[in-house]
Each structure stands twice: as structure tokens, then as C-alpha cells.
Amino acid sequence: MHNPIRVGITHGDFNGIGYEVIIKALDEEEITDLFTPVIFGSAEILNQVRKDIGTETFRFTPVRSAADAQNGKVNVVDVCPRGLEVTPGHPSKEAGEAAVAALEAACLALEEGDIDFIVTAPINKKTVYSERFPFPGHTEFLAQRLADEGDKATMILFDDDLRVALVTTHKAMREVPDAITKDSVSRTIRNMDAALRQDFRMDKPRIAVLSLNPHNGDNGLLGAEEIREIEPAIAECVADGILVFGPFAADGFFGTGDYAKFDGIVAMYHDQGLAPFKALAREYGVNYTAGLKYVRTSPDHGTGYNIAGKNEADPTSMRQAIYQGIDLTRNRAMHVEATSNPMPKMKQERRQKGSPEES
């Protein structure tokens, strides 16, 4: 990693609140003593939003690429043509294309080692969708771009006390049951367990799995997915030494506070996990993509079209995404160092010292 750590930040949909929360999150005294921000977006739009929200202390430095980023400064890599029309609160094709350009540039900078991890501001899934970007969201794109071959990315929402992973992410409800398979549930459990150990530095994480159907399926009366897919997945993971429990009916699990007894929770679909999470975490929630070669975080809110351009956006989730991303990146580096095998190096050192094993 760089020292100080370099944080790549994509501007997301420029007609939303992305620039506002980025500026507010970075407009703190001596922030660049803690890390080096590298924003992928438009210096022209950034400067305009800075004026619109009336901050006189925020300063930035345009650079040609992330490789040229300067420590001690907020750096901006231009990925957009000049003269783009900004219409706060209104989606546009140009904003979608600019969001994709920023994301691709940030991924390239990651792969080339010019930044250490990325924070993505919110996008509009409809305006980014195209032949160039045939994905329903960040998570699916990053899974293809930044995961090792054969690995699957997992969406995890977390704050200091709660971590929720999703088996299915951006799917229509009618498609969800077919996607709940033994393999998909098992993979999500394993990804959650690996993330908790590697990136959250937990030795023996306890994971709870939610049911798909009401009342845990009532022994098959309300659906057979628990018996046919979810329970076998849990049993398989338990046999491999993972501390995983369930399935639990989601309403009672959150309603009685049982979620507090576990380090991680696996939900079957988007709103099952995210609705209670956002109610509990509020503005402190962070979206994290596990299973990638690099750390990626984002605020857990959307484009905020309803308040775009009104100087009302709360930067807390963006700020949390940055700081939590720094912690996750450092945790992963420490995990890799702690779990690497030192024996080959030790043997080599003994040979160089002329140890008895050479005679």
C-alpha cells in the first residue's frame, strides 16, 4: 500500500448528491494528513458544486492520472469532457456515461497500483445500463472486473455493530426463489465468513442465515426452499468448520433483537436484509463488496435526486465509507502478512548463514 493510503473516489451520477457528499466528507481540516483522496470525475463540475454549496475551505488539485496524485492534496482525475450539462435531480444519458467512465478509470488505477481501494458514489442503474455496461449495478460489474476467476462477489452492508450479506442482490422478486440454491447460499456464507476473518479481523465469526419464506417455510407448508436448499447449505458449511446457524424467520430475528448475537447475517434477497439494516444503521451504514481482489466501499444511500442541488445531503455515510475502507484495506494487509508462510524465507536465511543442514 501507499503511505499515506490512496483512496480512489468515483463521482457517481453527477445529477445526484455524489459531488456534494464527496466535498462535505473531504472538507475537514488536515484530512489529507490521514489519506490521499483521488477523485475520478470532472474538475469543472466539482468546482461548480463547491461554489453552489458555499464552501470556501475545500481545495483540489487536477492531475493527469492517479499515478500523478500528490500527497497532502485532494486530487481530481478528469474522465469527462468539458461542458456537460448538469441538471440536479434529473437523470441523463450523459451522467450515466460519465459515471461508467469514472468507474472504469478507478478500476484501471487499482489494477496498476496507483490507488489502494475505491469508494463509489451512487449511480442511477438505468442511465448506466448499456452495451458498454450491461450490469444492474456496481456489485455485478466489479465481480466481473475485480474478482479472481471463478470467484463471486458478495454485497455486505455494515456499520460498527451489524453486517448483512445478500444471496441475491438486484433481482426482481419473482426471480429470487429460483436463485436461492444450495450453491448460492453456501457461497454467500463462505464469502461472509472469509470477509469477517480477513477484512474485519474476527477469529471465530458467528453467522446467522435467514429463511426465504415466512415462518421459516412452516416445514414446507409455505415453501420448500428452506428444506431443499438453505438447510443443506448450512449443514455443508458447518461440516467445514464454519460457525453458521439457522435458518431463522426474518421478522422474529430482527424483532426480538437476535441479530445482536451474531457477527454476520446472510439474507436471501435485497430488501429482506437492507430494510432492517438501514432502519438500524441509519446514516452510518456502508456498502462493501466482498470477494474482490481489492476493497470497494460506498455509502448505503442512492443518488438522492429529491435533494440534489439543495445543499441538504448528509455526508456521514460517504465519510464512513472512506474511513471504513481504510480500515478494511489495512486489515486485509495485516491478514495476508499474518497468514503467509514464513518457512521458505527462514530456510533460505539458514543456508546463507551456513547452518548445519547444508553439510
The answer on pLDDT for 357 being more than 80 is no
| Residues 6+ positions from 31 with CB-CB distance below 8 Å | 37, 74
- Lowest-pLDDT range, 46-50, 252-256, 318-322, 338-342? 338-342
Helix (H, G, I), strand (E, B) or coil at 33: helix
Taking residues 139-161, what's their average pLDDT?
87
Percent of the chain predicted with pLDDT > 70: 94
CA distance 356 to 121: 59
Range 342-351 burial, b when 16+ CB lie within 10 A, else e:
eeeeeeeeee
Task: Read off the C-alpha cell for 152.
Answer: 463471486
Express each pLDDT in 167-181 by its tens digit.
Answer: 998 899 999 999 999
CA-based nearest residue to 48, from 73, 7, 91, 80: 80
Taking residues 208-234, what's their average pLDDT?
93
Per-residue model confidence (pLDDT) at position 217: 86
The answer on pLDDT for 287 being more than 90 is yes
Q: Is 34 exposed, middle or buried (0-12, 13-18, 19+ CB in 10 A)?
A: middle
Bridge pairing between strands 286-290 and 296-299: antiparallel
C-beta separation of 326 from 199 below 8 A: no
Other C-beta atoms closer than 10 Å to the C-beta of 312 total 12
The answer on pLDDT for 344 being more than 60 is no
C-beta separation of 260 from 281 below 8 A: no
The answer on pLDDT for 347 being more than 70 is no
Per-residue model confidence (pLDDT) at position 225: 94
Taking residues 222-228, what's their average pLDDT?
92
Bridge pairing between strands 264-267 and 296-299: unpaired
Taking residues 254-274, what's their average pLDDT?
95
| Residues 6+ positions from 179 with CB-CB distance below 8 Å | 167, 168, 171
Taking residues 155-163, what's their average pLDDT?
94
- Lowest-pLDDT range, 87-96, 128-137, 268-277, 344-353? 344-353
Longest dimension (CA), the chain: 78
Mean pLDDT of the chain: 92
C-beta separation of 110 from 8 below 8 A: yes
Express each pLDDT in 83-93 by its tens digit.
Answer: 999 999 999 99
Q: Is the preceding peptide bond at 37 cis, omega within 30 degrees of 0?
A: no
- Lowest-pLDDT range, 73-87, 141-155, 265-279? 141-155
Task: Read off the C-alpha cell for 298.
Answer: 460506498
Task: Read off the C-alpha cell for 68.
Answer: 500523478
CA distance 91 to 317: 22
Express each pLDDT in 92-123 by its tens digit.
Answer: 999 999 999 999 999 999 999 999 999 999 99
The answer on pLDDT for 65 being more than 70 is yes
Express each pLDDT in 288-310 by its tens digit.
Answer: 999 899 999 999 999 999 999 99
| Residues 6+ positions from 113 with CB-CB distance below 8 Å | none
| Residues 6+ positions from 129 with CB-CB distance below 8 Å | 96, 135, 136
Percent of the chain that is helix, strand, coil (3-state, to 5): 45, 15, 40
Taking residues 134-142, what's their average pLDDT?
89
Per-residue model confidence (pLDDT) at position 244: 98
The answer on pLDDT for 30 being more than 70 is yes
